[in-house]
Chain A
Amino acid sequence: MANPSLSLNDTGRIYLDHNATTAPHKSVLENLSQWAYQWGNPSSIHWSGREPKALIRNARTSVAKVLNCQPLELIFTSCGSESNNLVIKGFFDANIDSARNEYITTCVEHPSVMKSFDYILKRGAVVHYVPVSRNGTLDIEFYEKHLSEKTALVSIMSANNETGSIFPITELAAKARAVGAKFHTDAVQVLGKMPINVESWGVNYATFAAHKAYSLKGTGLVYARKGEMLQSLISGGGQERGRRAGTENTLSIAAFGHIATLLSHDIEMHKNNMTRLRIEMEAEILKRISGVHFTGDGVDRLPNTSSFIVDDIDGESLLINLDMHGVSVSTGAACSSGSSEPSHVLLAMGLTRAEAQRSLRISIGWCTTSDEIAKFLEIFVEVVAQLRRLRSEMG
């Protein structure tokens, strides 16, 4: 069972899909009703608005501290996707009259980034897509070649959701700064997995989602360095200093603030635990199953993420079998109907569609235990063997 002092997952099922979402931390649940009692509108002048406003203010301060920025540099949104939309479209709209109209991003971004670029592309922006190599590293030469005095904004994720590859944000941001371009990083996958310091990254914008870090769904975050312009996507009241209209989600923001205080203390410990579990797990997989190829092998990766191709296996059948045995993992990105699709990230890395359909992603969490990994390995080994046996029988 998952570590009971941290996790709400007491089902006995083994959850290894923390890059999709996380179960809220137990202490979030313990505080939930206390926050829910603060039901007033934070913008109200009368008494009912005071406590909720204070909750949001405190949350903003805690989150700013853990990211190493100023509270007023943070904009609470509804999710990571909204945050990415706000930065890319909001930046484009705020700079519509600028002489700089070129944008740089990569081929392996989250769909919310990809599709926001599609949106501004149709409205006159020029977008360059940095390719990646077979092991997931960025083509730095391409990046440098396309950076110029025409570059308005660069958007490169801190770490990839599917492969776990970490991109050298500090170095990439410095290169953008050198030509006067702004830099955004989609940092959704790093929150809760390793320490973050937006100041030392030297980025102008960064985006986050609270539910990836043991908080509640319904809260995303934009870091916009002081002085950086963004046009609000939502017209309305003046919340979030006019950059995100709409009554705040007090409950979820308060939970996020609470998690931020935990992150300040525990992130190194969690990072080390997850790294250890992942390394042990990967070594065992290689030892016990033939024909497994890790994607992003040999490059800097997130502590918790393992992505690999299993030869002679259909990823969809593998995932369903694991689910029927009580193990939750992922193959690439699931679409909203719940069917699995070949991952655009793996295809961009040069894998064939057939290879991409044999992929599996394991993402470990704070509450994952060695026992769970051992049990997962036992099931995984058996399921792979059975599927391979069937496949050879079926020809």
Chain B
Amino acid sequence: MAKSTMGSKKPRVLVAMSGGVDSSVAAAILQEEGFDVIGVTMQVWDYSLNNCTITEGHGTCCSSQDVDDARAVADHLKIPFYVINCEEKFKSTVIDNFIDSYLKGETPIPCVNCNTFLKFDHLISKMKELGCDYLATGHYARIEKGAEGKAVIVTSNDSWKDQTYFLFTLNPEVINSLMFPVGAWQKSELRAYAEKIGLPVARKKDSTGICFIGKSGYGGFIESHVSKRNLRPGLLRRFASGEILGDHSGIHNFTVGQRKGLGVALGFPAYVVKVNAETSTVWLGEEKDLYSSELMVRDINWLSDFTDGDMVRAKIRFAHRGAEAKLCKVAATQARLEFYESQRAITPGQAVVFYRNNQLLGGGWIC
């Protein structure tokens, strides 16, 4: 809105800057292209609560290294920069769901909820309130004009970095307001560009894992945020005979496909094949028991039209390359996915995301 009185004719873009090299380059590219760029970082977590175990941050209250880095990049580019306080929203929509999901025996991906409720909802409101025409992020994804001139999301040019998996919950109506400036880039080119224009984060290590998990890991995080009586200890059983193999201190410590830290030696390579939250039972089996040829998906968000029985390429986790499957509609936002070939370690709580060629069609949560 400020644009009306500032007399600026350039389209204005709000860039979500994480302090990493991708979103920093995104801001730089947009500036180079002539946009009026405003940088924001979402303050999502009070780092003092983690007793300073997060390696990326300085570990001091409301001042992580990443916020400082984002600010340094904005200063370098000479663009306005603001920190948006999202702590409450992050806690209620990301952290609480993350904890609940683990306690239900699932393996959640908090990054999707962060995109759904913060980046592509809260920041869309901020974009409007700050008089911006677009919201840009550093995601490896591209926006193209689809068949009827409608904007669609397609995978990035760097297929190794592609992050469209995390974007399936987008409201289709906001796509026209989005920009993914690094989606056309290869990561190696992007680093070289960052170096060339002297960005202070050009050599910063890529973030891996979940931003709010410190050195104590997932299990430690859950245990420090949940009272002991809400943890779910139970039995370890042999799949599918039911033989009792031992006990465990809580289902939150297990994920389908896990091989390490099982607490028992069975004389063969054992894997978690199933976690049953109702009985708090963790089922252990052999690798062959991990394979399955279908899954149920709930809360589907569609970014494109779809016909019952369509063949899609389905990704069942971020690192999955995708596999051919038939989508069979069960209800408005539920479906059964039948894979052409059995898939290893289909994990409840993870997302399954559908593609046609390189176009993101939508996705949902694995039951």
Contacts and interface: CB of A to CB of B under 8 A. Distances in A.
Given A321-B129, A324-B6, A390-B128, A339 B43 contact: yes
Interface stretch (B62-70, B220-228, B283-291, B344-352): B62-70
Contacts of B61: 335-336
A340 B128 CA distance: 19
Nearest to B128: A390
A234 interface: no
B1 A383 contact: yes
A338 B128 contact: no
B131 interface: yes
Given A336-B61, A337-B43, A337-B63, A324 B80 contact: yes
A120 B64 CA distance: 28
B82 A338 contact: yes
Nearest to A338: B83
Interface stretch (A76-84, A219-227, A312-320): A312-320
A394 interface: yes
B11 to A, nearest CB: 15
A172 to B, nearest CB: 31
A139 interface: no
Interface in B121-168: 125-126, 128-131
Among A321, A323, A335, the most chain B Cβ lie within 10 Å of the Cβ of A335
A325 B84 contact: no
A336 B128 CA distance: 26
Given A317-B129, A337-B43, A324 B2 contact: yes
A379 B2 CA distance: 10
A340 B85 contact: yes
Contact of A317 (B38, B64, B80, B130): B130
Contact of B1 (A314, A321, A336): A321
Contact of B128 (A320, A335, A394): A394
A170 interface: no
A341 interface: yes
Contacts of B126: 317
B41 to A, nearest CB: 8
B62 A316 contact: no
A68 interface: no
B129 A390 contact: yes
- Name the prevailing secondary structure of the B interface residues: mixed
Interface in A337-382: 337-341, 353, 379, 382
A37 to B, nearest CB: 33
A336 B63 contact: yes
A339 B45 CA distance: 12
B128 A316 contact: no
Given A325-B6, A339-B83, A386-B1, A320 B63 contact: no
Among B2, B43, B130, B131, the most chain A Cβ lie within 10 Å of the Cβ of B2
Contact of B85 (A341, A379, A387): A341
B1 A320 contact: no
B84 A390 contact: no
A321 B83 contact: no
Given A337-B64, A390-B128, A382 B5 contact: yes
B85 A339 contact: yes
Interface string B245-281: 0000000000000000000000000000000000000
A114 to B, nearest CB: 14
A355 to B, nearest CB: 14
Contacts of A390: 1, 128-129
Given A316-B84, A337-B83, A325 B2 contact: yes
A325 B131 CA distance: 12
A299 B83 CA distance: 34
Among B71, B85, B128, the most chain A Cβ lie within 10 Å of the Cβ of B85
Contacts of A335: 61-63
Nearest to B88: A353
A314 B87 CA distance: 15
A82 B199 CA distance: 37
A382 B83 CA distance: 23
A394 B174 CA distance: 13
Contacts of A316: 84-85
Nearest to B12: A324
Interface in B1-54: 1-2, 4-6, 38, 43
Contact of B2 (A321, A338, A340, A394): A321
A387 B1 contact: yes
Contacts of A324: 2, 6, 38, 80, 130-131
A386 B130 CA distance: 10
A228 B300 CA distance: 70
Contacts of A321: 1-2, 129-131
Among A335, A338, A339, A394, the most chain B Cβ lie within 10 Å of the Cβ of A339
Contacts of A320: 82, 130
Among B5, B67, B126, the most chain A Cβ lie within 10 Å of the Cβ of B5
A325 B5 contact: yes
B129 to A, nearest CB: 4
A248 B130 CA distance: 45
Interface string A305-331: 000000000101100110111000000
B321 to A, nearest CB: 39
Interface string A33-69: 0000000000000000000000000000000000000
7 contacts: A317-B129, A321-B129, A324-B80, A336-B63, A338-B67, A353-B88, A386-B4
Interface of B: 1-2, 4-6, 38, 43, 60-64, 67, 71, 80, 82-85, 87-88, 125-126, 128-131
Given A337-B83, A338-B82, A394-B128, 6 more contacts: A324-B131, A336-B60, A336-B63, A337-B67, A382-B5, A386-B131
Please name the 8 residue pairs, one residue from A and one from B, whose CB atoms are nearest each other, closest first.
A339-B83, A317-B129, A339-B85, A339-B43, A324-B2, A386-B1, A335-B62, A337-B62
